[in-house]
Amino acid sequence: MTDMRLSLSFDGPVAHLAICRSEKLNALDAEMIDTLLSLCRHIDRSDARAVILTGEGKAFCAGGDIAAWSALSPEDFGRRWLRDGHQAFDALARLRQPLIAVLNGHCLGGGLELAACADLRIAEAHVKLGLPETGLGVIPGWSGTQRASRRFGAQLIRRMALMAEVFSADQALALGLVDQVVPSGQGMDAAMVVAHRVLARSPRATEITKQLINAAEGEDRERTIEMLAGALVAGSDDLAEGMTAYREKRQPRFGKRD
């Protein structure tokens, strides 16, 4: 499934992922969630070595489109809206490439949960950040209480989600919600500087290091351990011998080379 409200392009080894629904402040609906998951798979399998995520227009992302979820039954709200959103956001957070989020506009609710998927967040000076969901009678349901707590600290999430605190870009920098603040309109230039720093480093070491950091946070730990262990075994002489023995219909001679 594709959706023209999300755009993916490549500038050499840098992938650019943009939410293009400026008339709705880049709010996400169910079809956009499906497309985001599909695009994450495409990025992960591409030759890109860094990814930049941003929103079109005046907002980074207003989170979930209220019109898209407010009419859902409780069952559909949990089974599809929240579950599918988790799948897409998990795929984004677990991209093998470093992900840089350019917060070029307000970053509230699901938009902050989206930004939390990134490895580094660059906020333009006018940006506000917060988790206002409880004021609408819902919860931060796309890992705002889980991934965001792990990455930013549970007390900070309490202040936003329970006390309705909204932070400016400078406050967010001091609190660790963002990693850099730049003047309005300069977020993409700053992100390209960071992307080129990533490109200057070892691709394989960078990829594995990101996976290990994610695992330390509890992000997809089981799969990361098995994936790294599997890659280690796949490069061994034992695998080559095992496959040769299978093709020759004989018992493998592990550790016994002619």
Residues 115 and 139 in one domain: yes
Helices (H) and strands (E) in the chain, counts: 12, 10
Catalytic residues, by residue number, are: 113, 133
DSSP-assigned beta bridge partners for residue 16: 9, 52
Residues 120 and 80 in one domain: yes
In a domain, 1, yes or no: no
Residues 190 and 240 in one domain: no
Q: What total number of domains does the chain contain?
A: 2
How buried is residue 145: exposed, middle or buried, by Cβ count under 10 Å (0-12/13-18/19+)? middle
* Boundary of a domain, candidates 178, 199, 220: 199
Residues 126 and 149 in one domain: yes
Give the pTM: 0.89
- The parent domain of residue 29 ranges over 6-199
Nearest-angstrom CA–CA distance, 44 and 94: 9
In a domain, 255, yes or no: no
Residues 64 and 169 in one domain: yes
In a domain, 192, yes or no: yes
Task: Name which of 8-22, 103-117, 136-150 the model is least confident about.
Answer: 136-150
Closest CA to 180 of 119, 227, 135: 119
Residues 44 and 93 in one domain: yes
In a domain, 129, yes or no: yes
Q: What is the pLDDT of residues 67-76, one digit of tens each?
A: 888 777 888 7
Q: Which residue has the tokens 């600290």?
A: 153
Q: What is the pLDDT of residues 93-134, one digit of tens each?
A: 999 999 999 999 999 999 999 999 999 999 999 999 999 999
Residues 176 and 208 in one domain: no
Residues 78 and 155 in one domain: yes
Residues 157 and 64 in one domain: yes
In a domain, 41, yes or no: yes
Nearest-angstrom CA–CA distance, 5 and 98: 23
Residues 192 and 230 in one domain: no
* Neighbouring C-beta atoms of residue 242, cutoff 10 Å: 15
Residues 86 and 184 in one domain: yes
User: What is each CA distance from 197 to 30, 65, 116, 174, 207, in whole angstroms?
Assistant: 35, 35, 21, 23, 14
